[in-house]
């Protein structure tokens, strides 16, 4: 595998940190400019060979804006309101529109934003008067809900919501008012550039986490997102998500390495070289040419101290605790490896079974060449998907068993 080939890894999106450093575009009608090219070496090249794409944050925003604008163009509500509804439907535009046609009342349909049909276009209203938050007379600004607050209070409220609560769907500060603040307006009212960047990232993260087609790269500090082109494809729900090998690594394997580091492996007390006892004498001499330290195998203390009064054979409670801890660590590692090897076996089987998709496609075409219709051959594809889901389920049972 080359340095930038793709590898398959399992990730836990709930562990992803919500702090990034390169959201730098300003709002100008759109939330972010999404024209930037993906310059990750190897990722885009390798993704062309499979049924998924590697996106940067700007491209993710472009995907989000496009879906929200498509929905807004059909139902006529503001983009932020549409974003809230899409979040509920895991960004499945077709499913949302179908359900919305069955229940066109926004309050009953979504149950979160309070937007009247005649107020679909949210435009900030400005006036001069009394701010009920800071108890001062200042220039005021409000949504169409007509709850007026000064610029400073808006900034304080939004900053608290973003940095303190990590909220990306922010409503009016007025009690019990559920009117959603548009992204563009929120960013125009926030003063601190860092808070603006945090808000942008929260919006992106909410989109990625709720979408069935997107996954963050689990690599530390990586801001790339994998997008599968179709659920059920080779890189979809039936298999692990693919990420660039520069950042993605097997989390379970890394855990094994960390666990191994916690076990008690004897080392020389001076140069810390790992050692193994291959004789009966407790008088040890380090073989390192730069060390040659002599010590006791039992207590690891300097051998020169082991005269008539040496005490390493006496019971030492602290030393016994360390030995017990080391034994427990070794036992825990053996238990972990037992379940991990079985987990890994199923994971490898999932990757090896990707050829089943190609074989099924060929078989479906052969059946259609005879008297079978396209619909009648779908059971083969569904059977492979069920097989993969069952294997994934079995694979993750070992994670529960190991705890």
The CATH number of domain 125-193, selected from 1.10.510.10, 3.30.40.10, 2.40.40.20, 3.40.640.10: 3.30.40.10
CA dihedral 16→193→79→110, nearest 10 degrees, is 50
CATH 1.20.120.1750 fits 323-403, yes or no: yes
pLDDT value of residue 265: 58
Is the model more confident about 23 or about 34? 34
Q: H-type helices in 181-278, by residue range? A: 183-189, 193-210, 251-262
Whether 205 contacts 16, CB under 8 Å: yes
Q: Which residues pair with 141 in a beta bridge?
A: 126, 149
Is 281 part of the annotated catalytic residue set?
yes
The mean predicted confidence, pLDDT, of the chain is: 70
Q: Indicate if the pLDDT at residue 134 is higher than 60.
A: yes
Q: Choosing from 43, 110, 177, 281, which is the catalytic residue?
A: 281
Average pLDDT over residues 334-360: 82
Q: What are phi and psi of 137, to 5 degrees?
A: -95, 120
Q: Among 79-83, 318-322, 346-350, which range has the highest average pLDDT?
A: 346-350
**Domain spans of the chain?**
6-118+203-251, 125-193, 267-306, 323-403
Is the model more confident about 14 or about 199? 199
Average pLDDT over residues 329-335: 78
**pLDDT (tens digit, 9 = 90+) per residue, 206-224?**
888 878 788 887 666 777 8
* DSSP track, 288-340: -TTT--EEETTT--BGGG-STT--TTS--HHHHHHHHHHHHHHHHHHHHHHHH
Is the model more confident about 309 or about 47? 309
Average pLDDT over residues 171-178: 81
pLDDT value of residue 251: 47
Could you give the count of Cα atoms lying within 13 Å of 81 in the half-sphere of its Cβ? 26
Task: Work out the pLDDT band at 11, boundaries 50, 70, 90.
Answer: very low
Q: Among 67-71, 217-221, 270-274, which range has the highest average pLDDT?
A: 67-71
Least confident of 50-64, 76-90, 277-291: 277-291
**pLDDT (tens digit, 9 = 90+) per residue, 189-210?**
888 889 988 888 888 888 888 7
pLDDT value of residue 28: 31
């Amino acid at each position: 595998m080359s340095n930038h080939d793709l590898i398959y890894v399992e990730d836990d999106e709930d562990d992803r940190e919500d702090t990034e450093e390169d959201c730098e575009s300003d709002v100008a009608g759109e939330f972010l400019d999404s024209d930037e090219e993906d310059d990750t070496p190897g990722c885009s090249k390798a993704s062309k060979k499979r049924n998924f794409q590697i996106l940067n944050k700007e491209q993710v925003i472009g995907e989000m804006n496009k879906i929200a604008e498509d929905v807004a163009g059909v139902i006529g509500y503001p983009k932020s309101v549409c974003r809230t509804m899409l979040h509920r439907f895991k960004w499945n535009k077709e499913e949302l529109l179908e359900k919305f046609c069955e229940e066109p009342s926004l309050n009953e349909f979504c149950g979160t934003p309070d937007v009247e049909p005649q107020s679909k276009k949210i435009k900030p209203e400005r006036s001069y008067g009394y701010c009920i938050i800071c108890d001062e007379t200042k220039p005021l600004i409000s949504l169409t809900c007509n709850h007026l607050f000064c610029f400073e209070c808006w900034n304080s409220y939004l900053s608290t919501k973003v940095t303190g609560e990590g909220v990306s769907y922010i409503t009016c500060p007025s009690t019990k008012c559920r009117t959603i603040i548009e992204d563009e307006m929120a960013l125009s009212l926030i003063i601190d550039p860092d808070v603006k960047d945090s808000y942008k990232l929260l919006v992106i993260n909410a989109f990625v986490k709720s979408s069935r087609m997107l996954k963050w790269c689990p690599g530390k500090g990586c801001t790339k997102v994998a997008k599968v082109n179709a659920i059920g494809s080779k890189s979809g729900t039936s298999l692990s998500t693919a990420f660039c090998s520069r950042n993605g690594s097997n989390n379970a394997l890394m855990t094994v390495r960390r666990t191994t580091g916690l076990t008690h492996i004897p080392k020389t007390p001076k140069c810390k070289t790992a050692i193994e006892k291959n004789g009966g004498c407790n008088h040890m001499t380090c073989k390192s040419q730069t060390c040659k330290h002599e010590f006791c195998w039992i207590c690891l203390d300097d051998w020169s101290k082991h005269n008539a009064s040496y005490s390493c054979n006496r019971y030492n409670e602290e030393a016994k605790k360390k030995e017990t801890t080391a034994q427990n660590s070794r036992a825990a590692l053996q238990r972990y490896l037992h379940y991990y090897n079985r987990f890994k076996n199923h994971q490898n089987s999932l990757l090896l079974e990707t050829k089943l998709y190609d074989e099924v496609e060929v078989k479906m075409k052969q059946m259609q060449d005879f008297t079978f219709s396209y619909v009648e051959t779908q059971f083969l594809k569904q059977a492979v998907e069920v097989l993969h889901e069952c294997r994934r389920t079995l694979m993750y049972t070992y994670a529960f068993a190991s705890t």
